[in-house]
Chain A
């Protein structure tokens, strides 16, 4: 079992705490001139996303979390779970709803996503930064309005709802920034 000493703590290090995988967000070394040294760390639970503070005695060790990121292609959803494939090994993996989370709003077949694996199983899925999706429903804009001022909601083929300019119509493709959930531009083919 791999372990890390507090001396190795730094942002991004993946550790196990109370049975869950965490990533270190921030590590602070705290020590009175004559006294006990501590590492005060902010850690993010990789399952829940919650950030909490933890204190360690300097020199203590913690178990390393077997967590790493890999690029995988999204294949399909079988109605319950999401199937991904490693692009080089062609190995397939199944991610459940908690792991896919918000990414479900944005991804469609063949998109390449960043899948975080814990002990070899998908822990979380990050969609591409930009996706091109078709508008399946939006109110017709006012005729002749091309200013884009104001905007209106539009439902996309994946079910996500984004605000788009008035001139954009049902059936068109648009580019969306998945980090902000905002419309970027009209698009041609994906």
Chain B
């Protein structure tokens, strides 16, 4: 495929035979950036405001490697893999899907609050809001919990978008499902969730082979997300334990993963955790992920022992969050396709 049809691409004439000059013409079109120069400038302004924000907050900027010996185990994330020839080579290295593990190693080493702006890579993700490499802003706050970090995320967004009075609401995952779909995501079984999908007009999804979390993801992405963050910010928080990812789980009648997601205008923008710091529990979750990967026939990458060792050394209690800068820029400039804020999307990279 020579081109994707995003905004501003002329239709390919189909009646004329291919010719050398036509090939050249399409090459000429491909060399141009997808984003307008105005939006390329808007990205530079956004990055400047992010750095100003953290400088004022006393958070240190850091860099960590993009390439790693180990990789994320989350079955929903696909790491790209490469290898190095020559000295220092001879083995596979993975491109990070987020800088989470090495940043936590820095926190464990006593860095204090840190942030990073970097490109991350995820296989199999391409669409209006997805691109296989994208810019992530990730930061860690030792001594904070996810509630306090939500406050800071909201401050940052208001600053970046220059909307000082932008509203903010917080709603629990369970509360949202109870309110909108009248079902309890903690105890509904797959058949109940499947029927709920049919009830809300997803009749064509009835045949899908999904587990409990798959059905919850379907209902969230197809029926609930678009209503979140309308006219302001919505923090969705306290996830089912099965979706805690790297968050600690708060015990109770409904044990909850202390995790949050930020939505603006229906777009998922950030994911944060009150971080799990228990090395043994973390190792169990890695092993459980690998078990799921084995069942699904997915690659089983090496787990990050250095990260586990950092947790075992006594990582401070902390909260951390990753925010998609391309999507934030889309919201800032009013775009509806990620290609509108990228210089060279992957098809013309």
Give chain A's interface residues, CB within 8 Å of chain B: 7, 11, 28-38, 40, 52-59
Contacts and interface: CB of A to CB of B under 8 A. Distances in A.
Contacts of A53: 204
Interface stretch (B123-131, B178-186, B275-283, B307-315): B123-131
B222 A33 contact: no
Interface stretch (B23-31, B87-95, B213-221): B213-221
A137 B87 CA distance: 88
Contacts of B271: 33-34
A32 B124 contact: no
Given A34-B243, A52-B204, A55-B205, A29 B74 contact: no
B204 A31 contact: no
Contacts of A31: 76, 125, 127, 130, 221
14 contacts: A28-B127, A31-B125, A32-B261, A33-B261, A33-B268, A34-B77, A35-B220, A35-B243, A36-B76, A40-B222, A53-B204, A54-B204, A57-B209, A59-B124
Nearest to B259: A34
A102 B324 CA distance: 49
B208 A32 contact: no
B210 interface: yes
A55 B209 CA distance: 12
Contacts of B127: 28-31
Given A33-B261, A35-B76, A35-B243, A55 B130 contact: no
A59 B127 CA distance: 14
Residue with the highest number of chain B CB atoms closer than 10 Å, among A31, A56, A59: A31
B34 interface: no
Given A34-B271, A37-B124, A52-B204, 20 more contacts: A31-B127, A31-B221, A32-B76, A32-B220, A32-B221, A32-B261, A32-B268, A33-B261, A33-B268, A35-B214, A35-B217, A37-B76, A37-B125, A38-B221, A54-B204, A55-B218, A57-B208, A57-B209, A58-B124, A59-B124
B202 interface: yes
Question: Which range contains the number of B residues in contact with the other chain?
Answer: 20 to 34
Contacts of A36: 76, 210, 213-214, 217-218
B103 interface: no
A55 B128 contact: no
**Of A34, A55, A59, which is in contact with the most chain B CB atoms at under 10 Å from its CB?**
A34
A30 B125 contact: no
A7 B220 contact: no
B90 to A, nearest CB: 31
Contacts of B71: none
B97 to A, nearest CB: 10
B233 interface: no
A30 B125 CA distance: 9
Contacts, number: 70
A34 B214 CA distance: 11
A182 B44 CA distance: 52
Interface in B215-253: 217-218, 220-222, 243, 245
A7 B126 CA distance: 9
A55 B125 contact: no
A23 B248 CA distance: 46
B288 to A, nearest CB: 14
A127 B248 CA distance: 64
Contacts of A54: 204
A29 B268 CA distance: 14
Contacts of A29: 125-130
A57 B210 contact: yes
Contacts of B77: 34
Contacts of A32: 76, 217, 220-221, 261, 268
Contacts of B130: 29, 31
B15 to A, nearest CB: 12
A30 B202 CA distance: 15
A75 B76 CA distance: 56
A32 B245 CA distance: 13
Counting chain B CB atoms within 10 Å of each CB, which of A29, A33, A36, A40 scores highest? A33
A33 B5 CA distance: 25
Contacts of A30: 127, 221-222
B214 to A, nearest CB: 5
A135 B128 CA distance: 50
Nearest to B298: A59
B265 to A, nearest CB: 15
Given A55-B204, A57-B210, A34 B76 contact: yes
B345 to A, nearest CB: 14
A34 B125 CA distance: 12
B202 A55 contact: yes
A78 to B, nearest CB: 33
A116 to B, nearest CB: 16
